[in-house]
Amino acid sequence: MRYAFALAKRDMVVRTDGQPFTPDDLEKLKHLADSHLAEKENDFCAIELKPDTQLPPEYGFKTIREAFALLDGEDNYRLARARALLSWHSGHRFCARCGSPLTWAEGVSAKKCEKCDSVLFPRIEPCMIVLVSKGDEILLARHAQRNSDVYSCLAGFIEVGESAEHAVAREIFEETGIHVKNIRYRGSQSWPFPDQLMLAFTAEYESGEIKVQEDEIANAGWFRREDCPATPKPGSIAYKLIHNEI
Ligand SMILES: [Zn+2]
């Protein structure tokens, strides 16, 4: 394998001398791992470190999000895939149909149940994220429970039976009381914390006054791009939407 990742929830291990982290480094840390996997077709191996692992001095942590901001294309894909597969592995150890322990399937990143022959593939949760504009202003909101230190685009899970566009219009109205038009798809990003696929949209204000859903949103408002409060750091698709990069 050419690529190696040692992960700990939202962090990844890097070498403190600035050199790339290699499969040899991974071997040295394997005794600290809870689980591991390898994917021949994507040329990587990965481990999940035990909680609160103390690293040897030649290694340190950096957030996966920071890495996303620096990597592109295939490198980003491998890292996101490693993160998502390790999370899926730890959360899917038993068959949903009969309750028997699952094992890795041969030659494919899936799990199988020996007892009832079920094969389970990793799941993706589709989510939408949207930047709403009104003339020169954009709609940003501060979440009540998570990431409450920044203002960001509105986002949410796409519910059963919905199209992505339906979810965009519903979520904006539920969280802020605003109706939108001209919903346009702009791009996507794997967000493996643990298994989201973020579908990014822009939309234009149509009608309504801001009235936030208080259990979800602490505050929301219209801001000029050059006069925004603290917003998400690079590495997320929210950053790209807000900074007009997609
Ligand atoms: Zn089964």
Last residue of a domain, one of 80, 100, 123: 123
Q: How many A from CA of 115 to the centre of ligand 1?
A: 5
Q: Give the pLDDT confidence score for residue 108 in this predicted structure.
A: 83
Can you give the pLDDT at residue 199?
98
Residue 94 alpha carbon to ligand 1 centre in Å: 8
Which domain-ending residue is among 103, 123, 143? 123
Q: How far is the CA of 110 from the centre of ligand 1 (A)?
A: 14
85 and 98 fall within a common domain:
no
Q: Give the percent of the chain with pLDDT over 70.
A: 100
Question: In this structure, what CATH number is given to the domain that contains residue 215?
Answer: 3.90.79.10
CA of residue 148 to ligand 1 center, whole Å: 41
Span from the CA of 98 to the centroid of ligand 1 (angstroms): 4
User: Do 119 and 129 belong together in one domain?
Assistant: no
Please indicate, yes or no, whether residues 233 and 151 belong to a single structural domain of this protein: yes
Q: What is the pLDDT of residue 158?
A: 98
**Do 108 and 177 share a domain, yes or no?**
no
58 and 84 both lie in a single domain:
yes
Task: Tell whether 97 and 10 lie within a shared domain.
Answer: no
Asked if pLDDT for residue 219 goes beyond 90, the answer is: yes
- Identity of the amino acid at 108: V
99 and 140 housed in the same domain: no
Q: What integer is the mean pLDDT of 27-52?
A: 95
Q: Are residues 61 and 86 in the same domain?
A: yes
- Please indicate, yes or no, whether residues 103 and 171 belong to a single structural domain of this protein: no
* Alpha helices, H only, 97-220: 164-176
Q: 106 alpha carbon to ligand 1 midpoint, in Å?
A: 17
Distance 107 CA to ligand 1 centre (A): 20
Judgement on whether residues 80 and 112 belong to the same structural domain of the protein:
no
pTM of the model: 0.92
143 and 53 share one domain: no
- Which range of residues forms the domain containing residue 151? 125-242
Ligand 1 centroid to residue 35 C-alpha, Å: 22
Please tell me the predicted confidence (pLDDT) of residue 146. Answer: 83
Residues 133 and 63 both lie in one domain: no
Selection from 209, 201, 220, 199 nearest residue 143 by Cα: 220
**Structural domain count, the chain:** 3
Phi, psi (5° rounding) for residue 26?
-60, -40
Lowest-pLDDT range of 8-12, 44-48, 104-108, 139-143: 104-108
- pLDDT tens-digit profile of 101-159? 999 998 888 999 999 999 999 999 999 999 999 999 999 999 998 888 899 999 999 99
Give 227 Cα–ligand 1 centroid separation in angstroms.
Answer: 55
Determine the pLDDT at residue 52: 93
Class of residue 135 by CB neighbours under 10 A (exposed 0-12, middle 13-18, buried 19+) = exposed
**Using the 8-state DSSP alphabet, how is residue 18 labeled?**
S
Q: What is the mean pLDDT of the chain?
A: 95
Neighbours of ion ligand 1 (CB under 5 A): 95, 97-98, 100, 113, 115-116, 118
In angstroms, what is the span from residue 119 Cα to ligand 1's centroid? Answer: 9
Using the predicted structure, report yes or no on whether residue 64 has a pLDDT greater than 90. Answer: yes
Only one residue has tokens 């499969």, namely 23
Report CA(118)–ligand 1 centroid distance (Å): 6
Give 97 Cα–ligand 1 centroid separation in angstroms: 5
Residue count of the chain, please give it: 246
Q: Hey, how many other C-beta atoms are within 10 angstroms of the C-beta on 121?
A: 11
Give the per-residue pLDDT at 156.
Answer: 96
Last residue of a domain, one of 49, 70, 91: 91
